Chain A
Amino acid sequence: MIATPDVSWIAILPELVLALGAVAVLLVDVQWKPATRVLGVISAITLVVAISFTMLQWAQAGDALEFGGLGALVAFSGMVVMDGFAVFGRFVLLVMTGLGLLAGWKLIESLNRRGAEAIALVLLATTGFSIMVASNNLVMMFLGLEIGSISLYVLAGMTREKIKADEAAMKYFLLGSFASAIFVYGVALLYAGTGQLEILAIRQFFTEFFVTSPAVILIGLALIIVGLGFKVSAAPFHSWAPDVYQGAPAGVVGYMAAMAKIAGFLAIARVLLTGVPQLDANWLPVIAGLSALSMLVGSIIALVQNDVRRMLAYSGVAHAGFILTGIVGGATTGMLFYVSVYAIQLVGAFAVVAVVSGPGSSGSSIDEYRGLARRSPALGAAFAVLLLGMAGLPLTSGFIAKFGVFSEAWANGYGWLVIVALLASVIAFAFYLRVIVVMYMDETEEEAVLVSATTRWVLGIAVIGTVLAGILPAPLIDMAANAFPL
């Protein structure tokens, strides 16, 4: 009789549920060939169960934080952690998955038999990214990253009869794998320098030892930053984003972008803030530089885009810069708040794109939005609110989010970065306004566009969330403040 080791299953319950859900979707599809609707119900149940387990985890890890993080635990021999940070991130990922599936439902239905694959891939991607934000071991983090990324590569090429989508998927795959390789290389060098793969153990290592010549460690760290910087499309590692956002089927782009960003930023924060806070003199200037570069490059290049998707991609680069200012601030509260409100805006914005240009489309010229507010007032207003939210105007969540990360960076002595960030925000106003101008101030003879019920739900939630978190941000900030990493 072999004794089974004592395992805290609770730490990975949501991921187990998600993986099982993905398998169930595929098996049911093969066996019974049901209507896509049935698969939707299965994935909905999966998500609801996973979210319930996440709440259970929050009750244990989040609550306990008030008592010094007693409820947080390290499980599976140091592979994963269940701290407020991971649970918060997982919660946001799951909510975005739900919204992403709703927003992409038209696309999934139009894929016919391949719809099941799309649903399964979405659930698997979430599994991967969810593991990634909860990993304490760098190899585990890599596994999560790859499970998630590979699912996204396939999703990007879901409409494979479209050459643009093929191109996007191929580009994403090649550059993404390259970035993953760089990340692993960084992990290897960090391991070579410290002898540790566990993030908590790496921090322990730096408290115990003073490294006189940390060159190998720093190179390793730099490579990790490059790898993750690619995933979150921070400049100068952003060049894939516009092509992929433009080419991939509209129904899934919002989901893809949101997932990669949430997981990527949480991973960066965990590695830097939990793993190597002692080296902050080395990495703070680097992150600050990346942040400034991303904000400026993103905002300025977005000005000249004539495709709304490319514009959103470059705005995503700028947002990557804004979120990095939170990490420069050395805190996670503002960053978590920012990531969650931005993710919901992103999913909402691409839901609009999917309605205007069609769920399986590639590209979305700004001309298609001409007079949208006249043709479909509700859709136009929703898009306007989301864009203003991204621009960070007061009374939207975007303003509170920017205010949060900028204050943190300011408090940490990076005043110049805050000023750059504020100027970049002003530049950014110009391109968000451009879309609003086209929607509201141009007349058109075109027909109204039909918005499906699922998309209406997504937009309703995204708009209400954006406004509510802008007026009454306290609950979400408090949650984010309780969700610090171990």
Chain B
Amino acid sequence: MLTWLIALPVIAAVIVALVPKRLKELHLPLGIALSVLPLALAGYVFWIFEPVAGYQFRQQAVWYEPWGISWSLGIDGISMPMVLLTTILVPISLAASTSITRRTKEFVVYALLLEAGMIGVFLALDLFLFFVFFEAILIPMYFIIGIWGGERRIYAATKFFIFTAFGSALMLAGIIALAFTHAEQFGSASFALSDLMNLELATGAERWLFAAFALAFAIKVPLFPLHTWLPDAHTEAPTAGSVLLAGVLLKLGTYGLLRFNLSLFPQASVDAVWIMGTLAVIGIIYGAVVAIVQPDLKRLVAYSSVSHLGFIVLGTFALTSGSLQGAVIQNVNHGLTTGALFLLVGMIYERRHTKQISDFGGLQKVMPVFAGFFLFMVFASIGLPGLNGFVGEFLILIGSFTTLPALTIVAAIGVVLAAIYMLWAYERVFTGVPDKEENRVLSDLSIREISILAPLVVLVLVLGLYPKILLDKIAPSTEAVLDHIESQTEFVIPEPGRLGDVFVAGGDQE
């Protein structure tokens, strides 16, 4: 079944590619229709997913025996939300791409291949396979930014590619080293995550390997100071590219840190809590401060991503039940809200062909529906209670306070800053009188645009009001990660920090 989850988008891409060029109008609708299939399957997986620890629906086929590589897939509470998010965002971002009139067919094909790669990354339980997907997604994303992007698209695309490739090169060295360590200790090379988790690593080696993996993922996240590719890539990418980039691609980094760094290198992770936490908090504050002064709406949202992703990394390395659950669910939340914000920015850009905040003003009067959606997503993004952003940030902050109190207090300033940059931007764009001639004639959202945004609004509300629906399925898997760390190291999570200790997750959220 999981193989189908990867195969469906590929098959869809092939079908779209086979539709001849003269049926130009058909490519995009067909792509959207076909991309609903993986969503349906992912929804089914979510439905029958048991809220227990460990991987479900496992599939395994030997790829090349002597190297110990295999086609090994599985899904657990950490990867399931990500797969679901991916399959939701792809049809939405395709539906939002009607403004792409040039080379539509190629665009749809690349987007679908990108979807297959992203799902593959989340499902892979073999490090070799994981790496293959991790690298393979660079190509379609590179083309999406490079062909359909803005003015400086080639610079942005190449920067994105080289930054990420640099990180993954060192990770590949780390993966090779792990496989050989396995060969030394158990007699045969293996790339299976479950095998490699049992390795006995010397402290020095473990730290180096941790660093190699962490660097690759930190570039993806992106963690301060490796974030410089992100604003460029986001600003230049077409709307669909930005949505998928923010919604899913960045999550590969936070997902990787949680899945691989914590599980493979528990001791090094414990030792690195302060370093990673500090970098995360610097990212939170720095991203927020820089976002305040951005004159470009899309860049502002991009920098807000740096800030939000900082929270996720902080939660990941705070190593408590609450913070880990918060990190996972915040991955989803950020994908939904930031994805929606990029869609909204894209919609106004299609009308006005500018993203400069100073070019707008008083849009509320001209486009009330648009303003409503925007304000709703702004509130979701800054974490207004009742909306999804609150759940994630609250869990992360309260969970992290147990282990990293000082950093958490500083991080909380980020929440305030988020309110500043988001609301100030809203104020400048939407309130006041529409004094510019061009702005007075803008048309409000069409039914199509509203129906693109509606599912996101619903999800934001559902996750904000009833996060249990997702948290119940996440919790056993994050607990398993913590159990693994506690069993491998002398680190004991201070009380109250685990699910059993009254305060977190379950208790308050119900």
Question: Residues of A at under 8 Å CB distance from B?
Answer: 388, 393-395, 399, 403, 406-407, 410-411, 415, 418-419, 422-423, 425-426, 429-430, 433, 437, 440-441, 473-474, 477, 481
Contacts and interface: CB of A to CB of B under 8 A. Distances in A.
A13 to B, nearest CB: 32
B135 interface: yes
B373 interface: no
B32 interface: no
B158 interface: yes
Given A393-B136, A394-B131, 5 more contacts: A407-B179, A410-B177, A422-B172, A429-B165, A433-B158
B136 A394 contact: yes
Q: Say whether chain A's binding surface is mostly helix, strand, loop, or mixed.
A: helix
B147 A441 contact: yes
A395 B132 contact: yes
B107 interface: no
B169 A426 contact: yes
Interface in B143-168: 143, 146-147, 153-154, 157-158, 161-162, 165-166
A406 B174 CA distance: 12
Nearest to B21: A377
10 cross-chain pairs, A with B, having the tightest CB-CB distances, nearest first? A394-B132, A422-B169, A394-B135, A426-B166, A426-B165, A426-B169, A441-B146, A474-B64, A394-B136, A429-B165
A399 B132 contact: yes
A393 B67 CA distance: 18
Contact of A429 (B64, B131, B132, B162): B162
Nearest to B149: A441
Contacts of A433: 142, 158, 161
Contacts of B157: 437
Contact of A418 (B147, B165, B176): B176
Contact of B136 (A395, A426, A474): A395
A430 B63 CA distance: 30
Contacts of B161: 429, 433
30 contacts: A394-B133, A394-B135, A395-B136, A399-B132, A403-B172, A403-B176, A406-B172, A406-B176, A407-B179, A410-B177, A410-B180, A411-B180, A415-B173, A418-B173, A419-B170, A422-B172, A422-B173, A425-B169, A426-B162, A426-B169, A429-B161, A429-B162, A429-B165, A433-B158, A440-B143, A440-B147, A441-B146, A473-B64, A474-B64, A477-B66
B26 interface: no
B454 interface: no
Contact of A407 (B138, B162, B180): B180
Contacts, number: 73
Contact of B176 (A410, A426, A429): A410
Contacts of B180: 407, 410-411
Contact of A441 (B63, B67, B153, B165): B153
Contacts of B66: 477, 481
A394 B133 CA distance: 8
B64 A437 contact: no
Contacts of B143: 440
A315 to B, nearest CB: 16
B139 A393 contact: yes
Contacts of A394: 131-133, 135-136
A425 to B, nearest CB: 6
Nearest to B189: A407
Contacts of B162: 426, 429-430
A440 B64 CA distance: 34
A399 B131 CA distance: 11
Contact of A388 (B64, B139, B154): B139
A127 to B, nearest CB: 35
Nearest to B143: A440
A425 B171 CA distance: 13
A406 B172 CA distance: 10
B177 A415 contact: yes
A335 to B, nearest CB: 16
B256 to A, nearest CB: 16
A102 to B, nearest CB: 27
Interface of B: 63-67, 131-133, 135-136, 138-139, 142-143, 146-147, 153-154, 157-158, 161-162, 165-166, 169-170, 172-173, 176-177, 179-180, 183
Contacts of A388: 139
Contact of B135 (A393, A423, A437, A441): A393
B197 to A, nearest CB: 21
Contacts of B146: 437, 440-441
A473 B67 CA distance: 11
Contact of A422 (B64, B153, B170): B170
A410 B67 CA distance: 14
A390 to B, nearest CB: 14
Nearest to A470: B132
Contact of B173 (A419, A430, A440, A441): A419
Contacts of A422: 169-170, 172-173
B121 to A, nearest CB: 11
A433 B183 CA distance: 36
Contacts of A395: 132, 136
Contacts of A429: 161-162, 165
A150 B136 CA distance: 42
A437 B154 contact: yes
A441 B136 contact: no
A481 B67 CA distance: 12
A441 B154 contact: yes
Contacts of A406: 172-173, 176
A411 B142 CA distance: 34
Nearest to A430: B162
Nearest to B153: A441
B10 to A, nearest CB: 11
B81 to A, nearest CB: 25
A393 B291 CA distance: 35
A437 B169 CA distance: 22
A407 B157 CA distance: 30
A222 to B, nearest CB: 30
B64 A477 contact: yes
B139 A430 contact: no
Contacts of A403: 172, 176
Contacts of B139: 388, 393
Contacts of A407: 67, 176, 179-180
Nearest to B158: A433
Nearest to B138: A393
A186 to B, nearest CB: 34
A430 B164 CA distance: 12
Contacts of A441: 146-147, 153-154
A96 B169 CA distance: 31
Nearest to A422: B169
A474 B65 CA distance: 8
Contacts of A440: 143, 146-147
Given A395-B136, A474-B64, A423 B131 contact: no
A403 B172 CA distance: 9
Nearest to B167: A426
Contacts of A393: 135-136, 138-139
A418 B179 CA distance: 14
B176 A430 contact: no
B109 to A, nearest CB: 11
Most buried by A among B146, B161, B165, B170: B165
A409 B346 CA distance: 49
Nearest to B134: A394
A422 B153 CA distance: 26
Nearest to B172: A422
